[in-house]
Homo-oligomer: A and B are copies of this chain.
């Protein structure tokens, strides 16, 4: 048995790490350059974008030998360092060469978000290093350094107790918005823990947690050039329980993923698209994501129109095994389409419309052809989205 408790603040809860951020002149105000470092080199697990054009910082990471330990992550916003070729990778090495004048570095790692196709302004970054307070433990400061179109800071921390007195903690920060179409919205997430977890368990549990969280708010294989999730452990607590860690990590990543959806650029509603009774998990996931990514479904959600025909047609077009004589569609608990083709009467239409007025609800589709289930999360598409994305260069 174990107990997971939400903690105040963010990364400050984890012993063995230091973090903070500064303004290096790329943003008019607020931090744009940050770091997370550990007192000693630590194990790091990571999940990266499936985009073929992986950004330079990711390629820089992947050039290292497997299972290396690191003591430093450098973070920046306003420039993704993507589509910059070998030169972009060399820039990172040069930056770290200069940073090593300020602090001892072991396999340093960089993570970037911002505009694609421009070289980093190295001098500006390097000249900001003197401003770093390497002994700071300022979770807010480092979150700020990676924020782009985010409208709020995303951090979370939990304590996990088991076997009566044993306790470890996990904390994370995250950036990302624009989940209305997740395909190009860069998502960065850094998770710190003091649990005595092994490297194989870190790899396994991080991958598993990402599947049902970040991956559920994103569309098949459609990720930005820079998407990154990292897990680092100081092992300072000296204790660990696999089941408890697994649950806590899932809880944290799921909550952060929902924050990303809620912060969808211009979004007003968060909807869970639940597919059940699918032939297999792959088909359930495919259908759920087809719904969360459909323009016409998104605009119907914005317009609060219980137009289930768009839901049905999107499922049919997704290619999954389905049958109009078996399908059922619900808006929360209001049945809007049943397998007997009973037309939506005024009473049920009004009830469905009431559900759609809520800021958050569930659209459930039971395909009734199998046992598999998957939930994807999405939001509406309104005028604010068009305004933001027609102007903003990200």
Q: Which residues of A contact B (CB under 8 A)?
A: 50-53, 80, 82-85, 87-88, 115-119, 178, 180-181, 183-184, 221-225, 294-296, 299-300, 302-303, 305, 307-310, 312-325, 337, 340-341, 343-344, 381-383, 385-387, 389-391, 393-394
Chain B residues whose CB sits within 8 angstroms of the CB of A318 once the complex forms: 221-222
Bound CA–CA A57/B383 (angstroms):
36
Q: List 14 A-B contacts (CB under 8 A).
A: A52-B323, A53-B315, A88-B341, A116-B312, A117-B308, A181-B294, A224-B317, A225-B313, A296-B389, A302-B386, A302-B390, A305-B393, A381-B386, A382-B386
Chain B residues positioned under 8 Å from A180 (CB to CB): 295
Dominant secondary structure at the A interface: loop
A83-B312, A310-B184, A382-B386 given; A117·B344 CB < 8 A:
yes
* Contact call B84/A322, Cβ cutoff below 8 A: no
For the A-B complex with A50-B317, A305-B393, A310-B394 known, give 9 more contacts whose Cβ atoms are closer than 8 Å: A52-B315, A53-B322, A82-B313, A87-B341, A117-B309, A178-B296, A183-B296, A382-B390, A386-B386
Q: Compute how far the CA of A387 lies from the CA of B299 in the bound complex, rounded to whole angstroms.
A: 8
Q: In the complex, what residue of chain B is closest to A320 when comparing beta carbons?
A: B52
Taken together as a complex, chains A and B put the C-alpha atoms of A35 and B217 apart, in Å, by: 46
Verify A389–B309 contact, CB threshold 8 A: no
CB atoms of B386 and A118 under 8 A apart: no
With A117-B337, A341-B85, A343-B119 known as contacts, the answer to whether A221 contacts B319 (CB < 8 A) is yes
